[in-house]
Amino acid sequence: MEKDRIVEQIKDIVLYKTGKTIDEVSPQAKYEASSIMIMDDIKEDWAKTTKKNKDRRNAYYFSAEFLIGRSFGNNILNYGLNHEAEGVAEELGISLSALEEMEEDPALGNGGLGRLAACFMESAATENLPLQGYGVRYSQGLFKQYFNQGFQMEEGDDWTALGDPWSLRKQAETKIVNFKDQKVLAVPYDTPVIGYRNKNINTLRLWQAEAINGFDFSKFNNSLYDDSMSTKNRAEDITRVLYPNDSQKAGKILRLKQQYFFVSASIQDIVSKYKQHFPLDIKFKDFSKYHIFQLNDTHPVMAIPELMRLLLDENFLSWEEAWKITKKVFAFTNHTILQEAMEKWSEDIVETVNPRCFEIIKEIDRRFIAELKESKYTNEKIEELRIVSKGTVRMANLAIRTSIKVNGVAELHTEILKKDTLKDWYELYPSKFLNKTNGITPRRWLVYSNKELSNYITELLGSDDWILDLSKLKELEKYLDDETVLKRINEIKYNNKVRLAKYIKENEGVDIDPNSIFDIQVKRLHEYKRQLLNALHIVYLYNKIKSNPEIDIVPRTFIFGGKAAPGYFRAKSIIKFINEIAKLVNNDPIVSKKIKVVFVENFRVSYGEKIYPAADVSEQISTAGKEASGTGNMKFMLNGALTLGTYDGANIEIFKEAGEDSNFVFGATVEELKEIESTYDPEQLYLNDEVIKETVDILKSDIINDNGSYMFLEIYNSLIANKNEKPDAYFVLKDFHSYVKAHEKIDKEYRDSLSWARKSLKNIANAGKFSSDRTIKEYANEIWDI
Ligand code: BZD
């Protein structure tokens, strides 16, 4: 029997690794052995896929982040071992979920951009598309967050401390990366990306920096211990940490070194494999037939000069020959319109990282300008488009100039790029621009994380085909008026809420009631995402309940999660503010009967897997025009939450698919904001509006306490700064009343549980568009031609 075979194999691995029998070892050892068993099981399919892909055109996803989440449960599901899994675990003397909890989340990404890369990899493997990932193996992932007196604290995340059974070190394929001031080894670690039930297994290759002559023994023997370690440390520093900024350029030389490190190793890897495979093509005439590189934001853009360098200096092509190839093999995705996130490097930093690449960038720029002058472009326009200007290298310009396609990540976002942010570029290259609305993988975000709902969908549709074709969910609409189905939808949601409540009790120590509305905002902390608006609404409710304890409202639990960049003071202040509100509300004997607030610590992929299935309301409340797409919004929708959202990013497409009447739309549109931008005066709103004043004033009161940090006063000032100062760019007060109204509508509509369930089902049924399978097929057909 399959189960017995697996159990025997795992016991064997345990014995080999520890010299002990299964009942003598820790849960960690059982998890490790089980993972190794899976890696062993898949090895032939993995090798086969690698071999098959060698002869094909491949796409390469170049990304500084792959937020893959835990592998164990997902691999069991995708490889089709899930029917045996519970039974196997039992034979090992442990539960399956206890095994799963042994795994650290590889926190190799900040948020949406990194998680998108992971969803794309899974979808491509599932769709049999040859897509390989290339990135960085950070030894310290994104910091772990905990709270001390409500303040965010950070600690290191040594995610491989107990080993990493999901990657294989490929020592023999090590490369050398040259910087101006040092040379380091790039050692690849390969992780399998297993397609759903198709035996197709692509590869995610992450590079780790190591010293060439790691340790200087002569120095050590002369008791110069610190010195002897320094070369080693300086090399390892390059891949030591993931920069925790998700919306601010890092500007540090080490960051550009990281970027150059991984793209140099990747391009070298790909070029050398090409030469092995086609030894006669010394002019690289067919290189562009076999390769297309997707640049995930500007972080991997140094790949462009690096490819030129390899073709010119190491393979002796002429500039014209090299440029012709380079111009055909890159495509670029933009994820933000926030100016402060746009990467611009000072010339001397680029020069210090790699002088030859800097020279090449300048030459690309020089030729580009000559071309523009030729086409009678004005000096002003040319200045806009230049790659190197005023002492800085603009990475987005280099990417757009070189790429065959440039895409935004939701319809609105792409329109803003074309009409506004990248207007001049769109005029120059209209046919380069296209939209690719983001998506999420339904395997991890529904089948794996919400088994009860997933099984029920299969039961209703009579087959599980929908897992590979999410548009089939549309057929669920025939049950919109079926009371039995609607009741079952509510029951499943309730069960998920019970599970989450238990987990929150264990991990945060807070009691929450599964009968209350679970109203959830989980995402990175940022002013544009407006966690502050959510917080102020809670203050508003608090005041209301205080002045009228008998007030009739449906009990609500407000759940927050998300990390602030350690250097982002305002974002950290907002966390402290929410934690203070939580303390105030939860400790008030009357208020806490109606509302509760909890900010969960260390939100990450594995926490998300427990949270999304339990949400009634999904908070997607960014200032219109600021959130490029959002992907959390899609995870909530697929799990049956109703969206409370602005007309922003992919929310707009969610409303379009599921209908505005199944969701709660509020707030000013991009156009409306544009109109009032120059005259907006929040101070007047504050002074002339009793409700707003009373709500905002809590920041100045002694009801809550910022422990002398002045954080709350600083938030207060930022909210009401008038039009002659620096008025709030995120229009929190502007949207406040509209937001309050939308919440009142939620309160009203939740009382009719069948009608709520119908809206929930409507959302599930119309989530098909947001499968990353759809997105990745669009990339494959319209950009990559694979
Ligand atoms: O990318 C996010 C956007 O903010 C979301 O709207 C969008 O849905 C996702 C996926 O397209 N951007 C990021 O997550 N950006 C970063 O994490 C990041 C990381 C390093 C430097 C700059 C930005």
For residue 73, give the H/E element and its range.
helix 72-78
Q: What is the DSSP letter of 135?
A: E
> Is the sign of the CA dihedral 461, 464, 469, 473 positive or negative?
positive
State the average pLDDT over residues 184-209: 98
Catalytic: 21?
no
CB 667 within 8 A of CB 739: yes
Give the CA angle between residues 488, 749, 559 to the nearest 5°: 80
Q: Which of 59, 72, 271 is nearest to 191 (CA)?
A: 72
Residue 266: both structure tokens together? 């990747």
Per-residue pLDDT band at 388 (split at 50, 70, 90): very high
**Does residue 421 have an active-site annotation?**
no
* pLDDT reading at 28 higher than 80: yes
The whole-number average pLDDT for the span 289-311 is 98
Q: What angle do CA 440, 729, 380 make, to 5 degrees?
A: 90
Pocket residues for ligand 1 (CB within 6 Å)? 110-113, 116, 245-247, 335-336, 341, 409, 438, 627-631, 649
pLDDT tens-digit map of 554-602 = 999 999 999 999 999 999 999 999 999 999 999 999 999 999 999 999 9
Contact 512, 596 (CB under 8 A): yes
Residue-level pLDDT at 341: 86
What is the residue type of 563? K
What pLDDT, on a 0 to 100 scale, did the predictor assign at position 215?
61
524 is catalytic: yes
Residue in 336, 343, 605, 620 to alter for ligand 1 test, most ligand atoms within 8 A of Cβ: 336
Element (H, E) at 178: strand 175-178
Mention every residue, 6+ apart, whose C-beta is less than 8 A from residue 355: 180
Q: What average pLDDT score do residues 146-163 get?
A: 98
| Residue of 432, 635, 758, 769 marked active site | 635
Tell me which residue of 218, 209, 272, 200 sits closest to 52, measured CA to CA: 200
Joined together, the tokens standing for residue 394 give 């603009």
From the list 49, 326, 402, 631, the catalytic residue is 631
What sign results for the dihedral spanned by CA atoms 89, 94, 95, 96? negative
Strands annotated E in 16-150: 58-62, 131-136, 144-148
Q: Could you tell me the distance, in angstroms and rounded to a whole number, from the CA of residue 110 to the centre of ligand 1?
A: 8
Residue appearing with tokens 């442990």? 94
Cα of 335 vs centre of ligand 1, distance in Å, is 5
Whole-complex ipTM? 0.99
pLDDT at 217 over 70: no
End-to-end CA distance of the chain: 40
Instruction: Spot the catalytic one: 205, 444, 493, 529.
Output: 529
Measured distance CA(363)–CA(361) in Å, rounded: 5
Q: How far is Cα 216 from Cα 224, in angstroms, rounded to an integer?
A: 10
Report the pLDDT value the prediction gives residue 520, as an integer from 0 to 100: 99
335 is catalytic: yes
298 C-alpha vs ligand 1 centroid, how far in Å? 11
Percent of the chain beyond pLDDT 90?
Answer: 96
Structure tokens at 1: 């029997």
Give me the mean pLDDT over the 325-349 stretch. Answer: 95
Atom 19, ligand 1: residue with shortest CA distance: 246
Instruction: Categorise residue 602: left if φ over 0, alpha if ψ from -120 to 50, beta otherwise.
Output: left
Identity of the residue numbered 332:
F
**Residue 8 CB contacts under 8 Å (≥ 6 apart), including other chains:** none
Please tell me the distance between residue 209's alpha carbon and the centre of ligand 1 in angstroms: 25
In ligand 1, the atom with minimum distance to the C-alpha of 250 is 21
| Residues forming a β-bridge with 389 | 392
Structure tokens at 6: 């697996």
| Whether the Cβ atoms of residue 57 and residue 291 lie closer than 8 Å to each other | yes
pLDDT of res. 247: 81
Q: Which H helix or E strand runs over 683?
A: helix 682-688
Q: Report how far residue 395's alpha carbon sits from residue 144's, in angstroms, rounded to the nearest whole number.
A: 30
Radius of gyration of the chain (CA): 27
Measure the CA dihedral 441/442/448/453, to 10°: 160
The rounded Å distance from CA 67 to ligand 1 centre is 12
Residue 468 — φ and ψ, nearest 5°? -105, -5
- What is the model's pLDDT at position 219? 72
Q: What is the pLDDT of residues 658-687, one digit of tens each?
A: 999 999 999 999 999 999 999 999 999 999
DSSP 420-440: IITHHHHHH-GGGEEE----B
Mean pLDDT, the chain, rounded, equals 97
Q: What is the DSSP letter of 771?
A: B
Where does residue 70 fall: left (phi above 0), alpha (psi -120 to 50 degrees), or beta otherwise? Answer: beta
pTM for this model (two decimals): 0.98
Can 635 be counted among the known catalytic residues? yes
d(CA 534, CA 540): 10
Q: pLDDT tens across 459-488, in order?
A: 999 999 999 999 999 999 999 999 999 999
Place of tokens 């040859």: 130
CB 780 within 8 A of CB 786: yes
Q: What is the pLDDT of residue 90?
A: 97
Name the nearest CA neighbour of 304 among 396, 225, 230. 396
Mean pLDDT of 236-241: 97
Which domains occur in the chain, in start order?
Answer: 1-54+83-103 (no CATH), 56-71+106-403 (3.40.50.2000), 465-674+730-765 (3.40.50.2000)
Q: Which of 342, 402, 295, 238 is nearest to 64 (CA)?
A: 295
Catalytic (active site) residue 529:
yes
User: CA–CA separation, 434 vs 438, rounded Å?
Assistant: 13
Output the pLDDT for position 530. Answer: 98
Mutate to test the pocket of ligand 1, among 142, 335, 526 (most ligand atoms within 8 A of CB): 335
**Contact yes or no for 630/622 (Cβ under 8 A):** yes
Contact 335, 628 (CB under 8 A): yes
| Mutation test residue for ligand 1: of 113, 241, 296, 627, the one with most atoms within 8 Å of CB | 113
Distance 41 CA to ligand 1 centre (A): 35
Which of 510, 504, 584, 541 shows the shortest CA–CA distance to 747?
A: 541
User: 731: helix, coil or strand?
Assistant: coil
| 604/115 Cα distance (integer angstroms) | 10
Q: What is the pLDDT of residues 3-18, one digit of tens each?
A: 999 999 999 999 999 9
Backbone angles phi, psi at 264, to 5 degrees: -65, -50
The single residue listed with the structure tokens 């030129």 is 308
Rounded CA-CA distance 468/185 in Å is 40
pLDDT digits (tens, 9 = 90+) for 67-104: 999 999 999 999 999 999 999 999 999 999 999 999 99
Structure tokens at 215: 């340790």
Catalytic, out of 30, 291, 444, 524: 524
Nearest to 264 by CA among 333, 133, 354, 139: 354
